Amino acid sequence: MDLQPVRTRFAPSPTGRMHLGSARSALYPFLLARRTGGTFILRIEDTDRKRFVPGAEEELIEGLRWLGIEYDEGPDIGGPYGPYRQSERREIYHEHAWKLVERGHAFPCFCSPERLEQVRQQQIANKQNPRYDGACRDLDPDEARRRVRAGEKYVIRFKMPKEGSITVTDLLRGPITTDNAALDDSVLLKSDGMPTYHLAAMVDDHLMGITHVIRGSEWLPSLPLHAHVLRGFGWEEPVFVHLSVFLKPSGKGKMSKREAAEALKDGYSIFITDMKELGYIPEGVLNWIVLMGWGVPEDDIMTLDEMIARFDINHLTPSPAAVNFAKLDHFNGAHIRRLPTEDLAARIKPYFLREGLAVDDDLLLRIVPLIRERLVTLDDCLPFAAWFFRETVTPKPEELVAKGLTAAQSAEVARRACVILEALPEITPALAEPPLRAYVEQSGLSAGQVFGILRVAVTGQTVSPPLFESMEIVGKEKVLARLRAAIETLEAMK
């Protein structure tokens, strides 16, 4: 792979929440930039005031920060090519739109939206493709300029050649040739003075020195237009890479708002800030996303640094990918298991605090190794370990009764266990397991029956971290107290 330093960008519009697609559109250019020792920038494409969503930019930035996708230049940190918010670059687009007019590649258009809509309806009725009818295309330049100066409302449209064709290359798909006749005189500068994407993105990518444009495949149909704009300015084309869309889990149809709501019902989300809330860690989310559209031969559990080392822009897949949440769980669990004890402890601590539990850090550090491989998401720490932080547990009486035994028999088991444990100087797996196993042996009961009673008595639940290690952490005194409480409960059941 060519390792010349590149300049890439993530250019979202602040019109909604940051989702899977946004994250991947940021991740790939980021990886390419880091891989080549280049630069990655964040640019906000907020040229549509009607669709602007307050807080969207903040969520984007928060999402990127959480994921660990750091940009070198951006609206909040500045940089040598600013401003990085398109709404702050109006004059630049205005100037460039007119430059294109001067060069004969664009023209001012005074058609009203009403007339345009009427034309469109007419064309649809006649089964023609809806497109601009060229009314202002050949207006006398001086006349047009005079009307503009007189304050008449206008837009600037690209003057698409009527004949010929244009060939543009997408890195993943190869050269794509399109007849100019199939292209429209698209609007570049809107009547409110703001540019459309077609102008703004091309101007900014050029002015900001972007070498590789990595974006969603929804832009593929307008790639020929973009090439025309670029050539109209006489600019060199960047490398274009169009990413495939995400399909819904069934693979039938693309991910939609409705599908996002569907996912939420199953405890999943396509929104980045939700994932954090649901207990996913950035390492897991990143690993999941990076592999939708890219593949590695083996060892697909990777950290961000490992991704950077292995990333190859030439090997992305151009075909659409169905979202698979089971795989997200797998990657998340795998990365949780890789986390050092202190790190994992720090990440799960907030979940206990949120439950109103007083967390002792030393205790937490001893618990982590017991639950680490049981966590799929961080919040799984609660069902497995919240009871460690409670003074007492309240087992359900019926759960204290072992399968195949009566309450009285279960009480007897608890009593015998109590006697055995009481005789020990302290409870450790090494000290407690042999005598309890010996008891299992001579009692004729199964290990599951005996340990099951102890588990419920000590932890208050049927599913828990390993019993002996748990009892060691709880301590002899509390274990015995809980066993006695269980015996009482059992006896009261008679």
Residues numbered 430-449 forming contacts with RNA, rule: CB under 7 A: 447-448
How far apart CA 233 and CA 235 sit, in angstroms, is 5
Q: Which stretch binds RNA (CB under 7 A): 134-142, 143-151, 203-211, 326-334?
A: 326-334
Q: Is 369 in the site for RNA (CB under 7 A)?
A: no
Residue linked to tokens 């059992």: 490
Least distance CB 494 / RNA (angstroms): 25
Among 60, 100, 202, 292, binds RNA (CB under 7 A): 292
3-state secondary structure of 112: coil
Expressed in angstroms, the distance from the first to the final Cα of the chain is: 76
Whether 257 is a known active-site residue: answer: yes
Angle CA 433–436–438, to nearest 5: 105
Q: Is 176 in the site for RNA (CB under 7 A)?
A: yes
Least distance CB 476 / RNA (angstroms): 17
Least distance CB 461 / RNA (angstroms): 8
Among 37, 78, 162, 182, binds RNA (CB under 7 A): 182
Q: Is 113 in the site for RNA (CB under 7 A)?
A: yes
3-state secondary structure of 126: coil
- Residue pair 178/165 in contact by the 8 Å Cβ criterion: yes
Please give the biggest Cα pair distance in the chain. Answer: 107
- How many chain residues touch RNA (CB under 7 A)? 92
Cis peptide before 14 (omega within 30 of 0): no
Measured from the Cβ of residue 301, the count of other Cβ atoms closer than 10 Å reads: 14
CA-derived radius of gyration, the chain:
32
Interactions with RNA, residue window 78-107 (CB under 7 A): none
Q: Which residues contact 88 (CB under 8 A, 6 or more apart)?
A: none
Of 48, 368, 66, residue with least CA distance to 190: 48
Q: Which residues contact 122 (CB under 8 A, 6 or more apart)?
A: none
Q: Which residues contact 155 (CB under 8 A, 6 or more apart)?
A: 108, 109, 187, 188, 189, 190, 191
Among 8, 25, 464, 489, binds RNA (CB under 7 A): 464
Q: Is 324 in the site for RNA (CB under 7 A)?
A: yes
Which of 50, 127, 252, 257 is an active site residue?
Answer: 257
Between 183 and 364, CB nearer to RNA: 183
Interactions with RNA, residue window 18-77 (CB under 7 A): 45, 47-48, 50-51
Q: Which stretch binds RNA (CB under 7 A): 68-76, 136-144, 258-266, 296-304?
A: 296-304
Among 330, 366, 415, 416, binds RNA (CB under 7 A): 330
Among 65, 103, 162, 315, binds RNA (CB under 7 A): 315
Q: Is 164 in the site for RNA (CB under 7 A)?
A: no
Between 291 and 480, CB nearer to RNA: 291
Least distance CB 46 / RNA (angstroms): 8
Catalytic residues: 257
